[in-house]
Amino acid sequence: MNPNGEITSQLQPNGVRQITFGHPAHNSFPSSQLKAAVAAIDTAGDDPETSCIVFRSQGDRTFCAGANLDELLAIDNPAQAKEFFLGFARLILAMKNCPKPIVVAVQGKAIGGGVGIAAAADYCLATEAAAIKLSELSIAIGPFVILPALVRKMGVAAASEMSLDTEWHSAKWAHQNGLYQRLLPDVKSLHQATDELAGKLAGHSQLAAAKLKETLWFGTEHWPQVLDERAEVSGGLVLSAPAKAALARFKTKD
């Protein structure tokens, strides 16, 4: 599909646009790919031929391992650090501001920013094996940029449970707590159900669907400022000694 970690965007005749991301390190996001994902979503949002977007990743095992830890470890100044987290903020905002419904298919584990993408989806389907984890506190940073989207979808109790315990939570737990709208037994049926749903959503009036989406996101108009400021907080933390040490330990597997 896209072994070098590119974003692909393909319009189907039924008005569904398939946007696929991928990276050899468990579909983690370096900043270059965050930029490309935002551009693909913005372009699809402006395209009159696109009525619904499916956002999915390649492979069967990991939907998305969040921020690319190699890039995080290499960052050495506050401006670059903030810019990295702004990349995730812009992705969440692009998904929120896109006038087309975005369906996300989670075919395996989702961690950190990967959980944020699921939370920013208008409709999220997942396999029964699609466990989730917020690992940020265990590497001395925080899920600050993605947390508002998680709280909106799951409520404060579930979002605080998983952000504080940093443990794996099952797909069933994610479904019961509102992150995943539907669970499918395996990857094949996930992709089939996703495409069927997207085809149905693409048949709606674009204007009515855009207004519906806008209404579902009421109350989040202040997010651009919140996420900008949270990216700065994350950027400051990632340069701290505990974060540098934890990131280095992840790479050396100590």
Ligand X SMILES: CC(C)(COP(=O)([O-])OP(=O)([O-])OC[C@H]1O[C@@H](n2cnc3c(N)ncnc32)[C@H](O)[C@@H]1OP(=O)([O-])[O-])[C@@H](O)C(=O)NCCC(=O)NCCSC(=O)C[C@@](C)(O)CC(=O)[O-]
Q: Rule CB under 6 A: which residues touch ligand X?
A: 25-26, 28, 62, 65-70, 85, 88, 109, 111-113, 116, 135-136, 143-146, 234, 251
Choose between 54 and 246: whose C-beta lies nearer to ligand X.
246
CA distance 235 to 237: 6
Tell the smallest beta-carbon distance from residue 16 to ligand X (Å). 27
Choose between 207 and 241: whose C-beta lies nearer to ligand X.
241
Choose between 144 and 180: whose C-beta lies nearer to ligand X.
144
Angle at 30 between CA 164 and CA 39, to 5 degrees: 110
Listed in sequence order, the DSSP H helices in the chain are: 31-46, 69-74, 78-97, 113-120, 147-154, 156-165, 171-176, 187-202, 206-216, 223-238, 241-252
Tell the smallest beta-carbon distance from residue 253 to ligand X (Å). 7
Tell the smallest beta-carbon distance from residue 79 to ligand X (Å). 16
Choose between 28 and 50: whose C-beta lies nearer to ligand X.
28
Tell the smallest beta-carbon distance from residue 69 to ligand X (Å). 4
Tell the smallest beta-carbon distance from residue 201 to ligand X (Å). 27
Choose between 15 and 55: whose C-beta lies nearer to ligand X.
55
Token digits of residue 33:
């790919």
CB 231 within 8 A of CB 85: yes
> CA torsion angle for 88, 92, 93, 96 (degrees, to 10)?
170
